[in-house]
Amino acid sequence: MKKVKCAIIGSGNIGSDLMIKIMRTSEHLEMGVMVGIDPASDGLARAARLGIATTHEGIEGLRAMPEYADVQVVFDATSAKAHIANNEILQRDGKKVIDLTPAAIGPFTIPAINGDENLSEPNVNMVTCGGQATIPMVHAVARVSKRTLYGEIVASISSKSAGPGTRANIDEFTETTSKAIEQLGGAERGKAIIILNPAEPPLIMRDTVIVLSQGATQEAIEASVADMAKSVQAYVPGYRLKQKVQFEVIGDNAPVRVPGLGEVSGLKTTIFLEVEGAAHYLPAYAGNLDIMTSAALVSADRWAAQTIAAEAAQ
């Protein structure tokens, strides 16, 4: 079967996990090049052992390689700042870009919400790991509500699963995830918090989603949340509800204040999630890696399938 060659820029935790996923599970992609900037990185060493072409000279090193001509899609797992420069070069070279940083140059994409809508875009942004885990649940509440006033997410991940790139992007994480809560989740106001937990042994990824909405029954929200969990589990099997959805009625006699909206009332929904990773690179506690790389792989695989079909039809 014909496959589309890809490259990964960023040989850290996210890039390394994605590389192994592509090699083990991708239907339409095959690894072409692994790119880093640290010649001693474990990701580059592992790629070399697996027979994949590597460079430690960043994107310019990639462009100088003969393999670059065959690469059609590039995953960027570096940092928001680096992605701005990388994307400019890759767009000039006509490459499809899947952005795993919080740069948010391209449209926000979460497979369970809008997976097929952005396939033709030259740059697709995968929001953040916390966004991939939690925004589907904000959307699940919003799609059965008349009005969704507020969405807040708290993503707690093991400190060991957060590499230098993740740590350098904390501010961008909160800003990008907050915007995506509004744009994809459907909340009028969004807020995102990330916690790096240093506990030993490392704790599995846990997420809390709080949504204030109006015009939906508890039964409708519960059903929508359960359906959304199944949609995400289709590509992240370790994604699950940790306990029953919690509700609290916020009455007009005791409203809450939402910045920009003033005092509001409605139905408060609290959803507790757990994301267990597939342990392709880091152990299963690193669900934050798994959901991010799985979402990126699904998006790229769908694009590659379309590309292969279009080329065969010519």
Give the pLDDT confidence of 53-99 residue by residue, as tens digits.
Answer: 999 999 999 999 999 999 999 999 999 999 999 999 999 999 999 99
Residues 131 and 190: beta-carbon distance below 8 Å: no
| pLDDT given for residue 314 in this prediction | 81
Q: Which of 44, 104, 126, 129 is catalytic?
A: 129
**Tell me, what's the pLDDT at 166?**
87
Q: Is 6 one of the annotated active-site residues of the chain?
A: no
**pLDDT averaged per 10 residues, the chain (length 314):** 94 96 97 97 97 98 98 97 97 98 96 94 97 98 98 97 88 96 98 96 97 98 98 98 98 96 98 97 95 98 95 86
List the alpha helices (DSSP H) in the chain.
13-25, 42-49, 58-63, 80-92, 111-114, 129-142, 164-168, 170-183, 218-233, 287-313
Fold that domain 129-283 belongs to in CATH: Dihydrodipicolinate Reductase; domain 2 (3.30.360)
Q: What is the pLDDT of residue 14?
A: 95
Map tokens 């809008």 to a residue. 114
CATH 3.40.50.720 fits 4-127+291-313, yes or no: yes
Q: pLDDT for 180-197, tens place per residue? A: 999 999 999 999 999 999
pLDDT of residue 203: 96
The pLDDT of residue 163 is 85
pLDDT in tens, 244-271: 999 999 999 999 999 999 999 999 999 9
Q: What share of the chain is helix, strand, coil (3-state, %, to 5)?
A: 40, 25, 30
At 61, give phi and psi (nearest 5°): -65, -40
In single-letter form, the type of residue at position 160 comes to K
Say yes or no: do domains 4-127+291-313 and 129-283 share a fold: no
* In the chain, domain spans: 4-127+291-313, 129-283
